Each structure stands twice: as C-alpha cells, then as structure tokens.
Amino acid sequence: MSSLSIKKRVGINVTIVIFVVISIISILAYTEFKEALERNLDYRLRSDAMSAYILLNSAHDDKLIKEHISLLLSPKTDYHLRGYAVWFDQEKTALINSDTFKEIKTILDEHDTPAPETGKFNFTNITYKGKPCRVIWVSLKNKAANFPDKKSVNILVAISSRHAWGEITSFMNVLLLVGAISIWASVGLIMWILRWALRPIDDMAKKMNIISLPNVSSHELNIDETVLELQPFATAWDSMLNRLDKAIQQEKRFTADASHELRTPLAVMKSTLQVAKLKDRDADYYRQAIDESLTSMQRMETLIDQLLELARCQEQSLQPSKDEVNIAEILSDIAEQHKNNATQKQQNIEVDSCDTMIRCNKSQLSRAISNILANAIKYGPSNSKISVIATINDNNLLIKVHDCGGKIAAEEIEFLFERFYRGDKVRTSSSGGVGLGLSLAKEIVNSHRGEIIVESNAKAGTVFTISLPIN
C-alpha cells in the first residue's frame, strides 16, 4: 500500500464503498420488487380461485358452472399459460380442468407439494415446460348445492410467471446500468475533487523542487499562503531549511577558515624560501630561512591534527561514552604531561581533585582538559601558579582551571570558543596556537552534556570551569 498515491488510496476506497452501497441498494430493491411482483401474482391467483369458488357455490346448473368457471380461468393474452382444475375431496378426476392440468398436477406431486389444509392457500413455484409458473392450490369447504355429498372442494390455478420475471430482469438491467454509471461518475468526481484538494501539495512540491544548495534559506515556504492542513509540514520544512542553511554556512565558514589558516603558514614558508633565493646569501641566512620554514610546517601539522581531531570528535559525539574513570587520575596524568611546558615558564601546576568516578570518553575528556590547561600555561604569566581543582556540586562535577593571567575582555570571552579565534594580543605573538584548542574542548564537553564557563578579572586571573553531569 505504501507505494500507492493518496489519490489512488482514496479513490479505491471510496469506489469500493460506493460499489458496496449500490450493491446493497440493488439487492434490497431487487428483493422488494420481486416480492411485490409475487404478491401481485398471488393476489390475482387468489382472487381467481375465490371467484371460481363463489361461482361453484352460486350456480345450480352443472353445465353453467363448468362454463362459467372455464370462462373465468381460461388463458388471457398476457398470461401464456394458465392451467386450472376444480375437484372434490381426494377424487382423481376433476370436475373442471384445463388441458395442462394433468401435467401440472403431476409436477406438483413430483415436487411433493402437500395438499393444503382446508381453508388454506398454498402457493408454489414450479417449472412447466421450461417456463416458470406460480401455482395456487386451495382447499375449501364445499357449499355447492349441486354436490351436497362432497365435503371439500380443491381449486388449483397456475399461471406463467415468465412475464413477471421479465419485468424483474429488465428492472435489474436498469439497476445495473444506473449503478455502473453512478460508480463511473462518482469515481471521476472523486478524482477531480482529490486533484483539486491535493493541488496545494503539488504546488508545495514544485517550490521544494527548485531548491539549490548554496542559498537554501531563500526557498522557505510562505506559511501564510499554505493551506491549514499543510502548515505544520511547511513549518517543519522551513525550520529544517533553516537548520540546513545554518549548517551549510557553518561548514562554509569552517572551510574558509581552515583554508585561511593553512594558507597563511604556507605563504610564510613559500615567501621565506623564495626571498632566500632572490640572491646569494650567507649560511646563517639560509639556516634561519630553514628554521622559519620548519616553524610554519610545524604549525600546519598541528592545525591538520586538530582539524582531524575536531572532525573525529564530532563523529564520536553521536556515540555514548563508555569508560568509567576516576577524575583524580585523569587530572594528575594531564598535569604530568604539561609539567615540562610549565617548568619552562617557571609555572607551578597544582592539582586538587576529589575521588569521583565519572562515565565519559576518557581520551576525549582528557584532551579537553589538556587543551584548557595548555591555554593557561601559554597565556598565563611566567613565575605563577596554575591550579586545577575538581569538586562536586549538586550532581555536577566541576573542574576548574585557574591561572593568574590578565583579564580577558568581556567581548573577547564571547568569541573564545570560536574556531580559529585568537585574541588580538596573541595573534601576532609566536604562541604557536592555531585557534582550535578551546573550540575542540567545548565540542567535547558539550558532547558529554556539560558546559564550559569562563570568568576573568584583572585581580584573580582567569578561571575556566568545566561542568559535567555525573549521572
């Protein structure tokens, strides 16, 4: 059913319903019509029989009785067959009978039609010479003055019901024709109505069809112009387009940024080497050019590593974290890793951690904390203390990295986690950062359903707080 169109589904269902309704009406009409015709036949048969009975009772002359009854029951033009007989009691020979009587009586006997009780009518359908006939057989108390010794009188009248059946057949034909026409017409009407009703969907599909990738959001459906039933769909579609647009813009910006960040060290390297080649230089100059090129290369390498890490992290954020690890262990490991860098700047890393087990992706979380700590070492002043503290607060694990660096401007904090963002002050310095560390940290913490908060002031320095839900 799933591949059937709405038009077909509704069309088929409605057609079936109409067909069933017309069939039921036809059957009812047919039954009613047939019964009406039979009642009509029965009425005539009964009145014929009763007339014959009255004649039998009223006359005194045998001959006259026979003549009158024969005349009454003789075939008329509209009935092709008319058999009749009148006999007393269980007599084998009839007082009056038509030529067909004997045969009809035989057929009745063959059908085991029981003789009616006195005063009762008995109607039967029989087939005589291949033609349908209706027969009345009535047994009445004998009141004829001419035959005083007889107890009862039997009257049998048979008429062809072919004519009635013909009427029924032609009525059925009309019924079938009307039914067929009405089904055909209603299917057509339904299809037309459906096409009209479904036109908004077609229109919408046309609008959706012309969407091209670069500027997705310019193809929003106008909700006000959309029919009521399709409005939730249009809203969902528009919001999907918006999300898609955002993602595309983000991706575009990221690609542009990434290429920018890769091109700059490449430009440094190329220009260094080409300027060195402009004329003959001494060995010291070449050595310096090589060193500068290597530094640029190192920067590109770091950048590529971090880009890959970021891509991998986004991929993994879809998977649940599995490791159950002790936060104190993670922190002391990270502090150990950064010890050398800190010592170079005469900085001292102090770790103070609670003993809490946390479910997380260990390597990713380590990377996030490590990036923040590396940042603190890089931008914190020489000869200072950096503290890493883990505490528990309301089902949240708080990891604070505190350095005594200068104040980060409020407007800079906003952009701190943006990819490739480096504060103005550090851009030109040879810090070696590529501007992805914090953005990566944020990505990881977010994938653990946590958040990072930055507080900075001139006196106390800067605190990065990672807040992670324990459960």
> Cβ 293 to other proteins, closest distance in Å?
10
In 3D space, the residue among 211, 307, 200 whose CA is nearest the CA of residue 261 turns out to be 307
For residues 59 and 75, give the distance between their C-alpha atoms in angstroms, rounded to a whole number. Answer: 22
Least distance to other proteins, CB of residue 307, Å: 16
Sign of CA dihedral 37, 41, 42, 44: positive
The correct pick among 24, 181, 256, 290 for binding other proteins (CB under 8 A) is: 256
431 is a site residue for other proteins (CB under 8 A)? no
Binding-site residue total for other proteins (CB under 8 A)? 24
Nearer to other proteins, 418 or 455 (CB): 418
Mind giving me the DSSP string for 158-175? EEE-HHHHHHHHHHHHHH
At residue 104, what is the residue type? I
Compute the least distance from the CB of residue 243 to other proteins, in Å: 23
Least spacing, CB of residue 299 vs other proteins, in Å: 10
Could you report how far apart the first and last alpha carbons of the chain are, in Å? 45
- Only one of the segments 68-76, 210-218, 252-260, 396-404 lies at the binding site for other proteins (rule: CB under 8 A); that segment is 252-260
How would you list the strands of the sheet with 348-353, edge to edge? Answer: 348-353, 385-393, 396-403, 461-469, 451-457
CA pair distance 350, 359, nearest whole angstrom: 24
Q: Measured from the CB of residue 408, what is the shortest distance to other proteins in angstroms? A: 15
- With respect to other proteins, which residue has the nearer C-beta, 109 or 291? 291
| Strand-strand pairing, 348-353 and 385-393 | parallel
Q: Is residue 387 involved in binding other proteins (CB under 8 A)?
A: no
Q: Cβ of residue 262: shortest distance to other proteins, in angstroms?
A: 8
> Per rule CB under 8 A, is residue 427 in the interface with other proteins?
yes
**Nearest Cα residue to 468 out of 337, 312, 356:** 356
118 DSSP assignment: B
Q: Which is nearer to other proteins, 214 or 320 (CB)?
A: 214
d(CA 83, CA 105) in angstroms, rounded, equals 10
* Residue 444 contacts residue 370 (beta carbons within 8 Å): no
User: Which C-beta is closer to other proteins: that of 153 or that of 307?
Assistant: 307
Question: Whose Cβ is closer to other proteins: residue 189's or residue 267's?
Answer: 267
What residues numbered 265-304 form the site for other proteins, per CB under 8 A? Answer: 266-272, 274-275, 278-279, 292, 295-296
Q: Under DSSP, is residue 253 helix (H, G, I), strand (E, B) or coil?
A: helix
Q: What share of the chain is helix, strand, coil (3-state, %, to 5)?
A: 55, 20, 25
Q: Which residue has the tokens 């063959």?
A: 110
Q: How large is the angle between the packed helices 6-58 and 62-73, nearest 10 degrees?
A: 170
**Closer CB to other proteins, residue 278 or residue 410?**
278
Least Å distance between CB 264 and other proteins?
5
Task: Select the residue interacting with other proteins from 118, 264, 326, 384 (CB under 8 A).
Answer: 264
Kindly state the smallest distance separating residue 241's Cβ from other proteins, in Å: 22
Which residues have a Cβ under 8 Å from the Cβ of 107 and sit 6 or more positions away?
A: 126, 127, 128
Question: Residue 392 CB, nearest distance to other proteins (Å)?
Answer: 41
Burial group, residue 73, by CB count within 10 angstroms (0-12, 13-18, 19+):
buried
Q: Given the complex with other proteins, which of 129 and 260 has the nearer CB atom?
A: 260
Nearer to other proteins, 306 or 353 (CB): 306
User: Residue 263, interface with other proteins (CB under 8 A)?
Assistant: yes
The residue within the footprint of other proteins, chosen from 8, 260, 287, 449 (CB under 8 A), is 260
Beta carbon of residue 313, minimum distance to other proteins (angstroms, whole number): 25
Which of 117, 280, 424, 458 is in the footprint of other proteins by CB under 8 A?
Answer: 424
The CB-of-287 to other proteins minimum distance in angstroms stands at 15
Which residue's CB is nearer to other proteins, number 299 or number 448? Answer: 299
Stretch that binds other proteins, among 9-17, 30-38, 258-266, 401-409 (CB under 8 A): 258-266
| Four-CA torsion 405, 407, 411, 414, nearest 10 degrees | 40
Q: What's 360's DSSP letter? A: E
Is residue 103 at the binding interface for other proteins, with CB under 8 A as the rule? no
Q: Which is nearer to other proteins, 246 or 270 (CB)?
A: 270
Instruction: Using CB under 8 A, list all residues that contact other proteins.
Output: 256, 259-261, 263-264, 266-272, 274-275, 278-279, 292, 295-296, 424, 427-428, 430
